[in-house]
Copies of this chain bind each other. A is one copy, B any other.
Amino acid sequence: MTTTAYLHPDRLLPADAATRSIARGLYERVAGAPILSPHGHVPAEWIADDVPFSDPAQLFIAGDHYVHRLLHASGVRHEQLGLGGARVDPREAWALLAEHWHRFAGTASGYWINDVLGRVFGVEEELSPATADAAYDRVAAALLDPGFRPRALLERFGIEVLATTDDPLDDLAAHRRIAEDDAVATRVLPTFRPDAYLDPEHPAFLRSATRLLDGRPASWRAYLVALAEQRARFAEHGGVSVDIGMIAPTTLRTDETDADAILQRALAGEATAQEAARLRAYGLYESARQSTEDGLVLTVHTGVRRNHHAPTLAAIGPDGGHDIPVAAEYTENLRPLLEDFGLHPQLHLVLFAMDETLFSRELAPLAGFYPSVFIGAPWWFLDAPDSIQRFRAATTETAGFYRGSGFIDDTRAFLSIPARHDMARRSDAAHLARLVAEGRITRTTAERIADDLVDAVPRTAFKL
């Protein structure tokens, strides 16, 4: 990939010259390593059908809620960006991004877009009102080129593994087509995402749970069996993990009579908030138990108020950029689960946090004792260079480098996947180089760790 003037070759490496030199050596070892992306949101259909990307505005703005949220905060209305079904001239939406580009300076999104424009599209000048049209033209032209379709890019980007996120009743037809197509070298894996089935307060619960039961009697036991069957189907299609998001990760050992009653009330739309919370807690606990049986990795993220601004949800749908974090807790919430399954050799439990106070207080101590617990990479509001430095500093001293998940891009912005992994590799090189420069680890040890962080570590955590 090309490098342009606004992409400093040593970007994200430490300023101190001696430390930077160490960091550069570490980064160069792993810069070209295959990308393992065990959790993300690229639709499998894009790859199965090798769908061409649409226009630059759709690609960089409407399709990326990191981007349109900050434009919205800057006073741009969603309609101006083509959200909520509005029709816009993509060149005009692009011009708005260029007009506000200085507002992205220092942000993760700004960094990624620079990287994508420069390295993927060869745009030579940084975005600005003056360069907007030329950049638009260059990107638009490239998108017509077959070399910029998903399959060609998968190969160009060196993506060895790419996980999607899917509804438990998804037919996985796209995954099947990809698997049967020798032209795709990437392993494209489905991920089982049962939130709508475990949370009676989820807007899709009633429809989802009814479809899942498919006429079976509505007992908790039957419900769990139905979930297990679908998990098994995902595993048959190459799936390695189950992903659950809950605002609070409470876990409870199942009281079957209670769970039966709540499930039935929930199917009648009558579960109270307390009952819903209890069913979620049973569901998370049982999901871990199922992992001890089928070996699927369980990833958990918590502490976010989804769709904070109801009018925006109504206008443009979910993932509108207004999911806002709240304080989170794992130590007490997960205790029943960990007491019962925390030492089970089949369980891998990857814990993510958007509340960075968990890094040193809970994640590192839990992963520093339980062989089943892996520290999830910093993500969502924390998947950025300084946040990664804080994450490493807050977790390494207790848990070292080998109790983590490896970098997770968690993205639907397909084109930014290499930029994100490259950012993580540079950031980890910077962190390791500092430890070497401060005489805390040897350079040889740092080299081994740098290699493992992009290979052995994610392969172990996600059983790849």
Interface of A toward B, CB cutoff 8 Å: 6-19, 69-70, 72-75, 102-108, 110-111, 126, 305, 308-312, 321-322, 324-327, 329, 331-332, 335, 338-339, 342-343, 345, 354-357, 360-362, 364-371, 373, 381-382, 384-387, 390, 393-394, 396-403, 434-435, 437-442, 445, 448-449
Do B16 and A16 touch across chains, with their CB atoms under 8 A apart?
yes
Q: How far is the CA of A83 from the CA of B266 in the complex (A)?
A: 47
Q: Are B387 and A397 in contact (CB under 8 A)?
A: yes
Q: Given A18-B17, A369-B324, decide whether A12 and B440 contact each other with a Cβ distance below 8 A.
A: yes
Give this chain's copy count: 3
* Contacts A108-B397, A360-B381, A361-B325; A73 near B103 (Cβ below 8 A): no
- A321-B368, A326-B332, A385-B440 known; 8 new pairs, CB 8 Å cut-off, are A73-B373, A102-B445, A308-B331, A322-B369, A327-B329, A327-B361, A381-B398, A387-B397
The CA of A245 and the CA of B279, in the complex, are separated in Å by: 35
Given A70-B399, A362-B324, A400-B103: A12 and B439 interface contact (C-beta under 8 Å): yes
| A73 nearest CB across to chain B (Å) | 5
Once the chains bind, are B397 and A342 in contact (CB under 8 Å)?
Answer: no
Contact between B16 and A15, CB atoms less than 8 A apart: yes
A437 to B321, CA, bound (A): 31
Q: Give me 6 A-to-B residue pairs in the complex whose CB atoms sit less than 8 angstroms apart, sorted by A's number.
A: A12-B439, A14-B438, A73-B399, A106-B400, A107-B397, A387-B394
Give the docked Cα–Cα distance between A389 and B345 (Å): 37
- Asked if residues A105 and B11 are in contact (CB atoms below 8 Å), the reply is no
- A94 CB to nearest chain B CB (Å): 19
- Determine whether the beta carbon of A440 is less than 8 Å from that of B361: no
In the A-B complex, the 7 residue pairs with the smallest Cβ-Cβ separation, listed nearest first, are A8-B439, A11-B439, A384-B397, A15-B437, A386-B393, A106-B396, A103-B402
CB < 8 Å: which of B105, B338, B360, B401 contacts A441? B105
Hey, which chain B residues are within 8 Å of A18, CB to CB? 15, 17
Contacts of A19 in B (CB 8 A): 15
Compute how far the CA of A362 lies from the CA of B435 in the bound complex, rounded to whole angstroms: 30
Q: How far is the CA of A339 from the CA of B309 in the complex (A)?
A: 5
* A345 partner residues in chain B, CB cutoff 8 A: 75
Contact: A108 with B69, CB < 8 Å?
no
Q: Give every chain B residue within 8 A of A364 (Cβ-Cβ).
A: 381
Residue of A13, A305, A368 most packed against chain B (CB within 10 A):
A368
Which of B111, B343, B360 sits near A440, CB closer than 8 Å?
Answer: B111
Question: Could you tell me if B369 and A69 are in contact, using CB atoms closer than 8 angstroms?
Answer: yes
Is A105 a contact partner of B401 (Cβ separation < 8 A)?
yes
Query: With a CB–CB cut-off of 8 A, which chain B residues contact A104?
Result: 400
Residues of chain B within 8 A of A105, CB atoms compared: 400-401, 435, 441, 445, 449
Q: Is the CB of B325 within 8 A of A368?
A: no
Flag if A72 contacts B401 (CB, 8 Å).
Answer: no
Q: Is B73's CB under 8 angstroms from A369's CB?
A: yes
CA distance A36 to B419 in the complex (A): 39
- Asked if B360 and A382 sit within 8 Å, CB to CB, the answer is yes
B325 to A308, Cβ gap below 8 A?
no
Closest to A329 in B: B327
